[in-house]
Structure 1
Amino acid sequence: MSDGDQTCGMSIAIDVVGGKWKMHLMWVLAEGPVRFGQIRRKLDGVSEKVLAENLRQLEASGVVHRELYAEVPPRVEYSLTPLGESLNRALAPLEAWGDEHRDQLEARPQVAAC
């Protein structure tokens, strides 16, 4: 929903976390700084390409920080920014809603289990 140059807050939020993997990424990153390989192991089924793309998009949105360490070999860690931590807190009620209605929702064929 948009009114002139104002975009509805829900649209803005969905632009940031929309897609199959972004909210899952947010939960993984909430645990603290993690490396790419660690994230990939925690998100079973995500390809390297899709993971890298989602991380770049979250970084561009300002919710993820990418830290490159000047080491040999180079080390990169991803973490939530304060904006990302705020977004994660906002997503917590959505998770609670999913937990509360899990049985009802998983009975539907279009809903995938975590």
Structure 2
Amino acid sequence: NSTARSGKYFYPGLESFSYYEVAKRNLRGYGGMISFEMKDGVTVARKLMKSLKICSSAPSLGGIESLITLPIDTTHGSLTPAERKKMGIPEGLVRFSVGIEDPEDLIEDFQRALA
């Protein structure tokens, strides 16, 4: 079950996001960047990334194609686990930048990769 494998979601358009009200007041839209934490950590997050067919792994995000990255391997790779923990960056954190692909194709790709 794909829902059981992921934990927290970080997206300004979700009411559960800690800064949702700030985003709602100040943003016209919420953007295409989503972060989520894999409950079982970095091993499962890496498996997810390798299993996706549409999304490419990338050190930087924001292109027209859907991209995915693990901060512990890229942007925050030089930090110790203790430093990342203090900053609130869990081992299984995945960042996903939504591109211009068909949303249904992306959903199916994630569902298949998480199965």
Compare the two structures and name the one with the higher helix fraction: 1
Output the TM-score relative to the length of structure 2.
0.30
- Bigger RCO of structures 1 and 2 (CA < 8 A, at least 6 apart): 2
Larger Rg: 1
